[in-house]
Amino acid sequence: MSSHRLLACLLALHVIACGHAFVLANPPIEESLPMLPDAVDSFGAAEHDGFLYVYGGHQGSEQEQTGKNVSRQFVRCDLDQPSQWEQLPLDKPLQSLALVSCGDSLYRVGGAGLVNADNPTAPVGSVSDFMRFDPRTKEWTALTPLPAPRSAHDAIAADGKIYVVGGWDHSDAKPSDWHDSALMFDTTAGEEATWQSLPIPSFRRRNLAVAAWQNCIWAIGGKDDNDVIYRTVFYYDPQRGYWSEGPELPARADGLQGYGVAAWGLDSGLYVSGADGALYRLDTMYGEWQQVGELRVQRYCHRLLPDGDRALLALAGSSVSYGPTRSVERLKVYSP
C-alpha cells in the first residue's frame, strides 16, 4: 500500500473513531463530463463561451519531471452537450502553466516545457511564453513575453486584465529563481500593451491558486522556497493598489493542505478545494471558511472552474491515493 493511500485510510479511521461528522450543504456530486484524454496534474484550464478547455499538464509520478511526462493534449468539451473532448491544435507541450479566458480569447501564460527538443527524456524548464488562442479560427498568436520565465504560478482575468502571481524560474541547469513579483497585462490596451509590475507581495509561493472575487485578486496557499506549505490567503485590491491578508484555509492533519489548491470566485462566494477533498466557501471577505461539499477524489494540482452560476467542475489533478487522474466532478453550489 502506498504511503498516500495508507495516510488516507488512517485519516478516515480517525474521523470515524473520533465521531466527527461533516454536514454538507450540497446534494451528491454529479459526474456529467467524460473523463479527460490524459491523467494529468499541473495543467492549464479555462471555461470560455460554454466550452471547457484543458491544455497540457504533467503525467506520471511527481519525481518524473522530464519532457516525456508532459501531456501533448489541448482539448475542449461543450458544456451543453458534454459527450466527448475535441482535439485542438497544440502550440507546444507544457506543464505548470496558466490558461485564462479574457474577452473573446484564451491566453496561455508561462509554463514548463522541454528544454532540449532532441532529448525528450531531458528535464523541463520554465518558459516566458505569452500566447493568445482564438477559439473561432483555432489559431495561436504570440504576444509580449513575460519579463522572465515562469512556471508553477497561477493567473486569472478580471475587467479585461490578466493577473499573474507566484511561481519560479526553474531549470535543472541552474538554481531556481523564485518570483516575488506579481504582474498585470491589460488586454484592452491594444498592440502597445506590456506587462506591468504590481506592488510586491509579502510572500513567495509556487503551486498556489489565484482567483477573482469581490473586485479583488486572491492568492491562496502554495509552497515557499524553504519547502514549507502554507494555508495563507492574500488578496490584492486593484483600486487601492495594495495587498491584504485574508482568513487562512482550514488545517489538514498531514500538513499537505494548501499545496496545489484550486479556487474560483462566484457570486455566492470564493470556493477552494485541496488535498483534504473538501470544498470550502468564503462568503464574506472577513468571514471564515466553511465546508460546503466534498469531492469523491481527493486531489491537488487540479483546477476548479465554473459550469454556469450554480455548479463548479473539479478537473483532473493528482489523487492523494494513486497519482494523476482523468476524473471530472461536478459540484452544485448555492447561495448561503
Q: Which residue bears the cell 491584504?
A: 244
Number of Cβ within 10 Å of residue 187's Cβ equals 19
The count of C-alpha atoms lying within 13 angstroms of the C-alpha of 305, restricted to the half-sphere facing its C-beta, is: 26
pLDDT digits 0-9 by tens, 91-126: 999 999 999 999 999 999 999 998 776 777 788 999
Q: Where does the pLDDT of residue 18 fall: very low under 50, low under 70, confident under 90, or very high at 90 and above?
A: very low
Cα dihedral sign, 315-289-294-16: positive
4: DSSP letter: H
147: DSSP letter: S
Backbone φ, ψ for residue 127 (5° rounding): -125, 160
Note whether 318 and 324 are within 8 A (CB): yes
Note whether 270 and 287 are within 8 A (CB): no
Note whether 329 and 313 are within 8 A (CB): yes
Reading the block at residue 109, the C-alpha cell is 501564460
pLDDT digits 0-9 by tens, 261-307: 999 999 999 999 999 999 999 999 999 999 999 999 999 999 999 99
Q: Per mean pLDDT, which of 14-28, 193-207, 251-265 is the most reliable?
A: 193-207
Q: Where does the pLDDT of residue 174 fall: very low under 50, low under 70, confident under 90, or very high at 90 and above?
A: confident
- The predicted structure's pLDDT at residue 163: 98
Q: Which residue bears the cell 485590491?
A: 237
Contacts 24+ apart (CB under 8 A), 117-121: 119/67, 120/66, 120/67, 120/68, 121/66, 121/67, 121/68
Residue 161, CA distances (Å) to 181, 201, 221 in order: 16, 18, 22
- pTM listed for this prediction: 0.89
What is the average pLDDT value for the chain, to the nearest integer? 88
Rounded-to-integer distance, Cα 305 and Cα 328, Å: 11
What residue ranges define each of the domains in the chain, with the CATH number in brackets?
Answer: 3-332 (2.120.10.80)
